[in-house]
Amino acid sequence: MAISQIIFILISLVVFSLAFVQFGFVIRNIRLGRPEKIVGHTGWRWKNVLLVAFGQKKMFKRWIPAIFHFFIYTAFLLTQIELIEILIDGAGGYHRFFADKMGGFYTFLINFIEILSVLAFVATVIFLWRRNVLKVPRFFNAEMKGWPQLDGNLILIGELLLIIGIFSMNGADVLLQQIDPANYPDTGTLAISSWLGPSLFEGLDSNFLHIIERGGWWLHIMVVFGFLTYLPHSKHLHIFFAFPNVYFTRRRSRGEMENMPEIMNEVKSMMGLVEDTGAEMGEDIPQFGAKDVFDLSWKTLLESYTCTECGRCTSVCPANTTGKKLSPRKVMMDIRDRLDEVGKNLKSGKPEFVSQDSTGAKLSAQNYDDGKSLFDYISSEELYACTTCNACVESCPVLINPLEPILAMRRYDILTNSAGPGDWLPMFNSVENSGSVWQMPDERAAWTKELDTD
């Protein structure tokens, strides 16, 4: 076994081990959420996956960025076929393992990948220009300062390096096929590399060509490996999570709020629609809504990791566009940040995070308490600015619902904390006293007493 094979295998083992640990951390964090049963026909779900996740259907509501994103997306998918060959070559000591086995189809496949790679290169340069020169406003909201902005640029730069690696490898390989056909299988005429290689590298010694070819090969695979270990810390985790998130999307109509049986029964009893439940004042009052990530469903936590930070939700939010603090994108980013914080603290096992009620017990999700909550990330001003119009839900290209956590936290603040905006309190009192949102001296149904029932 050659030394290059040994090095490649060792690096691969380290990378895949790190990726396994990091993805495992993310999945464990998602499972901290409360249970939620996802209902609906599987056929409808798979149709969603094909149209929305694979087909990028909702991206094309803004067709110009959608086309360029589609170039990068399809190039990414097709390049995975070449990546499989690179992994086989690296571990087995081969060179273009599929070339002589697939014949003309191999040439067609590499040509297709090269054309897509050129389109992806153009799209990547345009996206970098939009972010850093044109400065599209939705990429420069307050929540995008610092790491989120750098994250987007790093991924785009990594994409450029991947493409440079592909064309360096293929371009030098075209010339080496003529010099040493015994070790460099014929790939046929390549759409880009057959003229780009000679244009850049013709006249170079075979040793230099070999260095360029191997350099491009290693550049490509090392960027892929770096991307794999970087992904769990990046917004580009949506590359994987968009598919399960779309599959498990809630099927109920937009705007339909999750029912709270305790409140519903209490209101019905108050309005005389059902008999009194007979609940005693001494009984424990249940917690309504969500205070922390543990109170949100696993589906909402999955959505926080699926968020692409594209800002389409915030750009159509009427509260945000009128200058209010609310940004649906920030809400999802804050949930993810809080979830990462909780996950790291749980992983540490430090007794300082055990609640006072469980002193001496081993740290777990059930007794976790670091003195913080989602309200340390998301302010009441943001929560109450939401008009529940569902514009953010409609605009999301991967079917994320920022309205769910906003309503859950608002319910907690109002029903558990007995808080809320001061100008809402008269309405609450009126509903409780007369069953009407308007402050009127008579009961809601008082007018029915005047009806002629004969």
Q: Would you list the DSSP string of 329-340? A: HHHHHHHHHHHH
What's the pLDDT at 282? Answer: 45
Please say if the pLDDT value at position 368 is more than 60: yes
**Is 149 buried (19+), middle (13-18) or exposed (0-12) by CB count in 10 A?**
middle
Percent of the chain at pLDDT exceeding 70: 94
d(CA 85, CA 156): 24
Report the alpha-carbon angle 303-308-310, nearest 5. Answer: 130
The per-residue pLDDT for range 401-425, each reduced to its tens digit, is 999 999 999 999 988 888 888 888 7
Are 409 and 375 contacting, i.e. CB atoms less than 8 angstroms apart? yes
The per-residue pLDDT for range 39-84, each reduced to its tens digit, is 878 899 999 999 999 999 999 988 888 999 999 999 988 888 889 9
Report the alpha-carbon angle 417-421-425, nearest 5. Answer: 85
Lowest mean pLDDT of 45-49, 215-219, 254-258, 328-332, name the range: 254-258
pLDDT category of residue 284 using cuts at 50, 70 and 90: low
Distance (Å) of CA 172 to CA 111, 142, 210, 354, 404: 16, 46, 7, 59, 53
Please say if the pLDDT value at position 218 is more than 80: yes
Write down the mean pLDDT value for the chain.
89
Two structure tokens written together for 170: 């293929």
Are 321 and 331 contacting, i.e. CB atoms less than 8 angstroms apart? no
How many CB atoms are located within 10 Å of the residue 29 CB?
24
What's the pLDDT at 281? Answer: 43
d(CA 73, CA 79): 10
pTM: 0.88
Closest by CA position to 345, among listed 335, 353, 333? 353
Q: How far apart are the first and last CA of the chain?
A: 101
Two structure tokens written together for 438: 């308007």
Strand (E) or helix (H) holding 151:
helix 147-179
What's the pLDDT at 423? Answer: 81
Closest by CA position to 89, among listed 227, 208, 183, 24? 183
d(CA 114, CA 120): 10
pLDDT category of residue 441 using cuts at 50, 70 and 90: low
d(CA 352, CA 369): 8
When pLDDT is averaged across residues 381-391 and rounded to a whole number, the result is: 94
Two structure tokens written together for 397: 């290209």
What's the pLDDT at 424? Answer: 82
The per-residue pLDDT for range 158-214, each reduced to its tens digit, is 999 999 999 999 999 999 999 999 889 999 999 999 999 999 998 899 999 999 999
Indicate the SS3 state at residue 273. coil
